[in-house]
Structure 1
Amino acid sequence: MGRNKPPPLFFSSRRFAVGSAASAAVLAACGSAPGTTTGGASAPATTGNAIELSHWYHQYGEEGTQQAAIRYAEEYSKIKPNVKVTVEWTPGDYGAKLNAALLTPEGPDVFEFSGPILDLVNAGQVADLTDIYGDARSDFNEIGLQANTVGDRLYGVKMIDDMGLLYYRKSLLEPAGIAPPTTLDELGAAIQALNTGQTKGFFMGNDGGVGVMGDMLLWSSGHEYLKDNKPDFNSDATVAAFKKGQEFLAANSGAILSGAPTDWWDPSAFTQNLTAMQWTGLWAMPGIRDAIGDDFGVMPWPAIGAGEGRPATFWGGWSQYANAKRPNVEAAKEYIKWLWIDNTDIQKDWSLAYGFHVPPRKSAAASAEPLKTGPAAEAVTILNQYGRPLFPNWTGAMGTAWGDAVNNILKNNADPKAELDAAAQKVQAELDKQA
């Protein structure tokens, strides 16, 4: 997850094919820098009823993150001399190690996770953190809170927020008289006009955009994966959106780049003039600015049509949880509150000093200098207005059903209604099991 690395949880049509028991591949998506598991948070000598907390992180690829995590833990131990926080930095398959550890009494006291949490909640594995939010809850976007909400209770606290953006080269659009597109048809017209011999009009992945488009077609139609605990992705509007998506891919196949040296999460195709427009993430913005200066703008995925649906982007990121089966749950909750709710300076440092993300507290994002102006400020607005979150009760089986349907529709040109209806039946069967 370095300067041009994928986000903590990068979204595609198959990203929800990951449940609590099978989350290793997604959880490990950021691990890229070499390293070893490290316990490093020292603290002053303690007396009396000393408390030791273990705090687990996956290995971030962003330089300086491990040292920052250890520094935060040391700061807390200075404030709370009877609490020693030990940071464990986990390279490789963090998801598999975490899943195994949570089945034992020796698991972490505090850990980060990025996936559906219903299984963890039902197993009594994560503590209820609703009470530690207090008045600060109103400073978190309610949409962003959904990923950690089961029933009316909050079980996690966001560390960072991530999102996707459609980047465009201003120097190419403006001379051609092309405004940033607001509908899928306008996007098609723009990429056709921008398509030249060596520079394609648009890049959204080496699969031709199938992975990215599934989620975006759903959300830009104005619908969700679930609504009132029932599938919402097979509505008439979503079926129509997928039909339009098929038409979009067929009509613009010659203007859409595929086979780029790197995939959609890396901006190299955009910065190397292989494409005039690209779907990638906020995390890529510093690298884009380094390469092409201010010659870019950003926008959300456009609405499906004029007066239809809404613009969209994904709302990803990592959250912190307290292990309910460890002996010092209240101490763990107090530590999480200090680190990820009360301490906005640390939240800004973690989000922006080593990579490029949005601090989850609205006040922290608003006061962060790198996010106050230009495309970065626009990105924060896009996230808050159009971001769509992870559903905590979405399971691996549901994700497989959805992903198979999207692949068949967009790659194999299957009938959208038949595919989405079949997927909805499978998802409803899984939801019925949760009742």
Structure 2
Amino acid sequence: MRRATPVLSALLCTALVAASAGCGNSGSSSDSADGGVLNLVTANHPWTEAVKSLGLLDEYQKATGTKVSIESFAEDQLTQQLTVKLNAPNSEIDVVMYRPPQEGRQFVLNGWLVELADLTKDGAFDWADFQDGPRGTVTIDNKVYGAPIVTEREILYYRKSLLRQKGIEVPKSLDDLVAAAQKLDDKPGGVAGFIARGKQANAVTQFSSYLYGYGGDFIKDGKSAINTPEAIKAFDVYGSLLRDYGPRPADATLQMNWPEALAVFVQGKAAMYTDADSIVAGMLDKQKSKITDDLGFAPFPAGPAGARPYQVASWALGVSAKAPHAAAAKRFISWIASKDNVLKLQQKAVPGPRLSAWSSADGTKGFPAEYVAALNATMKLTTTDHDRPQVVGVARSREIVGSVIVASIQGKDVAAAAAAADKDLTEFLKTDGK
């Protein structure tokens, strides 16, 4: 491989000497890519498409002589592929794109990812510039295993005209949210007061901000915490919002993940919607959305414990523990997740992990000003770095927690449902990761 340009060398040749023999072209398989090839496996995701459309991989190859070979899969297929390939005796994968909230603990427990302490200690990489929540998401047992590349927070979306017509201020608390949903609910006129995810496992991530706002969590001190008074209150409020003020029939929301809930909202059939900030593109597309010019954004409302919405790294890059070119893989991650590249990717509507990008006019010009204000306000809150139970068997834990959400939407005894789910989660935790 030929040497990097001076500018790129400044990004690449930093504190990574601890993981390599230096930043020259040493020729060792751990420090450079044999034949000039680094293998990257990613999801079919807007981040991946933006990297390609910006020509970043070509830029990297021209500067360093290293070709980055990229292979992409649909999300579920990606997990299956990584589970097989990272476990293989002779894996050829160097860099992996993975979902820290969903797969992080499993991958670390299995020994599939290496710690990235050298990156976080690298002054040029500037770990402090990454948002607190996403940094926490990629940290397990006080060790960092990934570099965040895509972030997500829960915010409140609302119809400006409908709130204005009713003389309602934008809800700042969960009590305000319930009161506003009641006043805005006009199902005879075809507009529900509120919409959100109601499908069992899928609803858990967005329910989490309600849970934290009421002072609860999924697990505390290694034990199930979904049968506490705080959790029961959160289940009751989330379920009653959909049951009383959501679309009819109420059971229809039980089939709603975010695409279904979003479709209801953009067709003008709901007044308010709490969900991830990352789905905003579907609301801004005037060919698909009837409410683009009537769209408002606000930080997630506060509960008795304050406003504590989740803020996570929904996607990150990690280095395979069996990477043929581990040091080269770290240098690539340091470069692709640098301030300059995160800014470029954010200009392609990929919500990035760096504070500097969100405080930059160049980094925010593609987003509505009120949306940017809501995100920047959220970043200053006491956000929570997980949006689902922090376990290895995430899928099963979400089904358990989601069963209480379903019971609440159906108007069943929430306390009884929480008690039953608590027993299931307690039993699950005894064997999780073992």
Q: Could you tell me the TM-score, scaled by structure 1's length?
A: 0.75
For residue 410 of structure 1, report the CA deviation from its aligned partner: 4.1
Q: Could you tell me which residue of structure 1 aligns to residue 96 of structure 2?
A: 111
Distance 1:392 1:54, change over 3 A: farther
What whole-Å deviation, never above 9, does each CA across 1:53-74 have from its counterpart, x for those lacking one?
10111212689436237x2222
Q: Does 1:327 align with 2:327?
A: no
User: Within 2, Cα distance between the matches of 1:149 and 1:284?
Assistant: 25
For residue 221 of structure 1, report the CA deviation from its aligned partner: 1.1
For residue 387 of structure 1, report the CA deviation from its aligned partner: 4.0
Structure having the larger proportion of residues in helix:
2
Q: Could you tell me which residue of structure 2 aligns to residue 302 of structure 1?
A: 301
Find the residue that maps to 1:337 and give its secondary structure.
helix
Q: Could you tell me the TM-score, scaled by structure 2's length?
A: 0.76
What whole-Å deviation, never above 9, does each CA across 1:343-364 have from its counterpart, x for those lacking one?
22221222331xx342112112
Find the residue that maps to 2:155 and give its secondary structure.
strand
Gaps of 5+ in 2: 1-31
Q: How does 1:34-49 map to 2 (within 5 A)?
A: none
The answer (yes or no) to whether the contact 1:164–1:282 under 8 Å persists in 2 is yes
The answer (yes or no) to whether the contact 1:217–1:245 under 8 Å persists in 2 is yes
What whole-Å deviation, never above 9, does each CA across 1:327-379 have from its counterpart, x for those lacking one?
21111111111111xx22221222331xx342112112222133583222312
User: Within 2, Cα distance between the matches of 1:207 and 1:191?
Assistant: 20
- Select which of 207, 211, 229 maps to 2:203: 211
Q: Could you tell me which residue of structure 2 aligns to residue 6 of structure 1?
A: none
User: Within 1, Cα distance between the matches of 2:49 and 2:247?
Assistant: 42
The answer (yes or no) to whether the contact 2:97–2:315 under 8 Å persists in 1 is yes
Distance 1:413 1:315, change over 3 A: farther
The answer (yes or no) to whether the contact 2:50–2:345 under 8 Å persists in 1 is yes
Distance 1:273 1:410, change over 3 A: closer
The answer (yes or no) to whether the contact 2:227–2:419 under 8 Å persists in 1 is no
Q: Could you tell me which residue of structure 2 aligns to residue 160 of structure 1?
A: 150
Distance 1:374 1:111, change over 3 A: same
Find the residue that maps to 2:103 and give its secondary structure.
coil
- Select which of 128, 133, 146 maps to 1:138: 128
Find the residue that maps to 1:317 and give its secondary structure.
strand
The answer (yes or no) to whether the contact 2:192–2:246 under 8 Å persists in 1 is no
Distance 1:279 1:232, change over 3 A: same
The answer (yes or no) to whether the contact 2:95–2:319 under 8 Å persists in 1 is yes
The residue type equivalent to 1:142 in the other structure is D
Distance 1:269 1:383, change over 3 A: farther
- Select which of 270, 278, 286 maps to 1:275: 270
What whole-Å deviation, never above 9, does each CA across 1:144-164 have from its counterpart, x for those lacking one?
212211222101001111233
What whole-Å deviation, never above 9, does each CA across 1:36-85 have from its counterpart, x for those lacking one?
xxxxxxxxxxx99644210111212689436237x22222222222x322
Find the residue that maps to 1:419 and give its secondary structure.
helix
What whole-Å deviation, never above 9, does each CA across 1:71-129 have from its counterpart, x for those lacking one?
22222222222x32211233572221222111221341101001232232232211111
Q: Could you tell me which residue of structure 1 aligns to residue 378 of structure 2?
A: 382
Q: How does 1:377-416 map to 2 (within 5 A)?
A: 377-385=373-381, 387-390=383-386, 393-396=391-394, 397-411=396-410, 413-416=412-415
Q: How does 1:217-228 map to 2 (within 5 A)?
A: 217-228=210-221
Q: Could you tell me which residue of structure 2 aligns to residue 350 of structure 1?
A: 345
The answer (yes or no) to whether the contact 1:116–1:394 under 8 Å persists in 2 is yes
The answer (yes or no) to whether the contact 1:208–1:258 under 8 Å persists in 2 is no
User: Within 2, Cα distance between the matches of 1:420 and 1:300?
Assistant: 30
Distance 1:205 1:223, change over 3 A: closer
User: Within 2, Cα distance between the matches of 1:289 and 1:352?
Assistant: 15
Q: Could you tell me which residue of structure 1 aligns to residue 78 of structure 2?
A: 94
What whole-Å deviation, never above 9, does each CA across 1:126-183 have from its counterpart, x for those lacking one?
1111211223121122322122112221010011112332211111102311011233
Q: Could you tell me which residue of structure 1 aligns to residue 193 of structure 2?
A: 201
User: Within 1, Cα distance between the matches of 2:236 and 2:86?
Assistant: 43
Find the residue that maps to 1:389 and give its secondary structure.
coil
Find the residue that maps to 2:41 and give its secondary structure.
strand
Find the residue that maps to 2:157 and give its secondary structure.
strand
User: Within 2, Cα distance between the matches of 1:72 and 1:50?
Assistant: 20
The residue type equivalent to 1:375 in the other structure is Y
For residue 325 of structure 1, report the CA deviation from its aligned partner: 0.9
Percent identity over the alignment? 22
Find the residue that maps to 1:125 and give its secondary structure.
coil
Deviates more, 1:168-177 or 1:414-423: 414-423
Distance 1:221 1:322, change over 3 A: same
The answer (yes or no) to whether the contact 2:278–2:351 under 8 Å persists in 1 is no
Find the residue that maps to 1:388 and give its secondary structure.
coil
Q: Could you tell me which residue of structure 1 aligns to residue 115 of structure 2?
A: 128
Distance 1:187 1:221, change over 3 A: same
For residue 290 of structure 1, report the CA deviation from its aligned partner: 4.5
The answer (yes or no) to whether the contact 2:133–2:384 under 8 Å persists in 1 is yes
Find the residue that maps to 2:211 and give its secondary structure.
helix
Distance 1:326 1:63, change over 3 A: closer
The residue type equivalent to 1:118 in the other structure is R
Q: Could you tell me which residue of structure 1 aligns to residue 427 of structure 2?
A: 426
Q: Does 1:176 align with 2:166?
A: yes
The residue type equivalent to 1:358 in the other structure is P
What whole-Å deviation, never above 9, does each CA across 1:18-40 have from its counterpart, x for those lacking one?
xxxxxxxxxxxxxxxxxxxxxxx
The residue type equivalent to 1:385 in the other structure is L
The residue type equivalent to 1:178 in the other structure is I
- Select which of 186, 194, 206 maps to 2:176: 186
- Select which of 53, 57, 78 maps to 1:73: 57
Q: Could you tell me which residue of structure 1 aligns to residue 4 of structure 2?
A: none
Q: Could you tell me which residue of structure 2 aligns to residue 366 of structure 1?
A: 359
Gaps of 5+ in 1: 1-46
